Amino acid sequence: MTDKKVRVRFAPSPTGGLHLGGVRTVLFNYLFAKKHKGDFVLRIEDTDQTRYVDGAEEYILDCLKWCGLQPDESPVAGGQYAPYRQSERKAIYREYAERLVMQGHAYYAFDTSEELDKNRKEIPNFQYGQAYRDSLRNSLSLPQHEVDALLDAGTPHVIRIKIPADENISFNDMIRGHVSFETNQVDDKVLLKADGMPTYHLAVVVDDYLMKISHAFRGEEWLPSAPVHLLLWDYLGWKADMPQWAHLPLILKPDGHGKLSKRDGARLGFPVYAMTWFDAKTGELTPGFRELGFLPEAFLNLLATLGWNDGTDQEIFTLDELIEKFSIDRVSKAGAKFDFEKAKWFNAEWIKRLNAESLKPKVKATLEEKGITVNNDDYLLTVINLIKDRCVLIPDFYQQAGYFFEQPKEYDLNSVKPKWTDAKTVFFNALITLLNNNEAALEAHDFETQFKALAEEKGLKVGDVMLPFRIMLVGGKFGPHVFDIAALLGKAETISRITKALAEFTA
């Protein structure tokens, strides 16, 4: 390995929402870059106008921002290798493609898509390569004057790489080790499309070279086209500068088979995108981890451990720890099925770990969404500390904290009414009196003692009035210690809730 500066890139095409696997690729790139004091660049691969989606690039930037994985160079941040959008680099690619033609490593092809489709349908195992290229319409099979005529006439054409015969191409993948291919099995991929735009194959090689990328991490689905890229690095004369490759394992569907897709999320009820994505064309809204109430810390953590571990039993990592401990050769080779249950566990762990202050803005937002306005931050902080251990996703804070801000709208009457007695009515009325007569009852922390004493005095078992009391304050059978809730609610509010509920219970 050379000791040149570490530079990695994430190169998405702006075609829609950012998938789990995409974010994991970002994360591994980022971790590797930061660990080695290198640069992380974001390059937008928008060479396919037919698939380009408005707003997708901005969305990707927002995702990276939410995750805290900011690129050092990008279309917005700029950088010394700008532009970072391939559509803005269009002219560059043609030059290299022509150079390859000149050197005999590529050629012009005039076949139409229809003709090729027909061949693919009719000829078993048809591929544009050694076996068939001579019988197709290209600058290898046609006489020179005909090629010139075609070119002069402006006939639509592409430039294809000429894959050599009988060669073995191999390289050392940082994750998989030695990988090899027979060139006879590789087809003559299109390098430059008829519209003048490069395909991924040409663009990725040219840009990785020009942007001085030292390590290239991408999904395993790219492994079969690696020989094309290797050949290009060689033919362009850049072999010595070729990055080290690492092909990341895929993230698979939790059930069934295949790559995880956004459809699976909809089908199985979990997000697949980092953030909610709205498709303006179809009007389709695809939910994201962020909107569902995941913390970025947890999201990154779960992604990091999907296919990577540090060799110890540690599972919870901060970003800084990940940077310190990450190592590409500890990434596993096999694809991983995504498990939403474990994903939620990570989030619950992070909610427990984070202090109330850092949770506050998010909790506040989720409460406000439900129409609850928080005007006392200290009160909210106390509430968060009281309930955060029982929340898995941020929206759970509404269910767990709502009653601290508004009276229960509904009561779990089934748990109360069947067992209601007049003695209980007497007890709660006495409790109101007790509270009214004792200024410091709640604050003094002896409320619990007094409550129990009162129950005995009225001939009731404490257990018989505890649950009704909880339901009066909370509405249901959940929440922290009931006396903590009462203390936080305060005397007036507690009395108000007892009074209101008593009417319902005895109705």
Q: Are the C-beta atoms of 506 and 422 separated by less than 8 Å?
A: no
Q: Are the C-beta atoms of 259 and 250 separated by less than 8 Å?
A: yes
Round to whole Å and give the CA distance between 87 and 97: 16
Site for RNA in 60-79 (CB under 7 A): none
Task: State both tokens at 134.
Answer: 């001579």
Query: From the CB of 264, what's the least distance to RNA, in Å?
Result: 11
Q: How many CA atoms lie within 13 A of 140 on its CB side?
A: 23
Site for RNA in 99-128 (CB under 7 A): 111-113, 116, 120, 124-125, 127-128
Binding residue (CB under 7 A) for RNA from 53, 82, 92, 179 = 179
Stretch that binds RNA, among 8-16, 59-67, 77-85, 291-299 (CB under 7 A): 8-16
Round to whole Å and give the CA distance between 252 and 376: 45
Closest CA relative to residue 404, chosen from 370, 433, 439, 355: 370
Binding residue (CB under 7 A) for RNA from 53, 77, 194, 354 = 194
Query: From the CB of 220, what's the least distance to RNA, in Å?
Result: 6
Site for RNA in 281-320 (CB under 7 A): 305-307, 309, 311, 313, 315
Partners of 10 in beta bridges: 42
Distances (CA, A) of 205 to 69, 74, 183, 209, 407: 24, 18, 18, 6, 63
Q: Are the C-beta atoms of 494 and 435 separated by less than 8 Å?
A: yes
- Judged by CB, which is closer to RNA: 220, or 297? 220
- Judged by CB, which is closer to RNA: 187, or 297? 187
Dihedral sign (CA 77, 80, 84, 90) = positive
Residue 335 lies near RNA (rule: CB under 7 A): yes
Long-range CB contact pairs, 73-76, < 8 A, 24+: 73/39, 73/40, 73/41, 73/42, 74/41, 74/42, 74/43, 75/42, 75/44
Residue 156 lies near RNA (rule: CB under 7 A): yes
Site for RNA in 470-489 (CB under 7 A): 470, 477-482
Round to whole Å and give the CA distance between 7 and 226: 19
Which amino acid appears at position 157 of this protein? H
Stretch that binds RNA, among 57-65, 274-282, 427-435, 459-467 (CB under 7 A): 459-467
- For residue 75, give the 3-state DSSP assignment: coil
Helices (H), ranges, 305-391: 319-325, 340-353, 356-369, 377-387
Q: Are the C-beta atoms of 363 and 207 separated by less than 8 Å?
A: no
- Judged by CB, which is closer to RNA: 71, or 479? 479
Residue 357 lies near RNA (rule: CB under 7 A): no
Stretch that binds RNA, among 96-104, 193-201, 420-428, 432-440 (CB under 7 A): 193-201
Query: From the CB of 433, what's the least distance to RNA, in Å?
Result: 20
Query: From the CB of 280, what's the least distance to RNA, in Å?
Result: 19
Binding residue (CB under 7 A) for RNA from 66, 222, 379, 420 = 222
Closest CA relative to residue 32, chosen from 322, 334, 335, 332: 322
Residue 431 lies near RNA (rule: CB under 7 A): no
Residue 19 lies near RNA (rule: CB under 7 A): no
Round to whole Å and give the CA distance between 462 and 214: 70
**Cα end-to-end span (Å), the chain:** 81
- Judged by CB, which is closer to RNA: 154, or 376? 154
Stretch that binds RNA, among 1-9, 222-230, 365-373, 492-500 (CB under 7 A): 222-230
Query: From the CB of 354, what's the least distance to RNA, in Å?
Result: 14
Site for RNA in 371-410 (CB under 7 A): 389-390
- Judged by CB, which is closer to RNA: 261, or 358? 261
Whether 477 is a known active-site residue: answer no
Query: From the CB of 448, what's the least distance to RNA, in Å?
Result: 9
Binding residue (CB under 7 A) for RNA from 4, 51, 239, 445 = 51
Residue 55 lies near RNA (rule: CB under 7 A): no
Query: From the CB of 458, what's the least distance to RNA, in Å?
Result: 13
What does the H/E/C string look like for 87-129? HHHHHHHHHHHHHHHHCCCEEEECCCHHHHHHHHHHCCCCCCC
Q: Total residues contacting RNA (rule CB under 7 A)?
A: 84
Task: State both tokens at 498.
Answer: 């007892």
Residue 106 φ/ψ, nearest 5 degrees: -150, 170
Binding residue (CB under 7 A) for RNA from 35, 85, 99, 176 = 176
- Judged by CB, which is closer to RNA: 167, or 439? 167
Stretch that binds RNA, among 217-225, 354-362, 369-377, 433-441 (CB under 7 A): 217-225
Q: Looking at 34, 193, 262, 344, which residue is catalytic?
A: 262
Round to whole Å and give the CA distance between 469 and 502: 10
Residue 182 lies near RNA (rule: CB under 7 A): yes
Site for RNA in 196-215 (CB under 7 A): 197, 199-200
Residues with catalytic function: 262
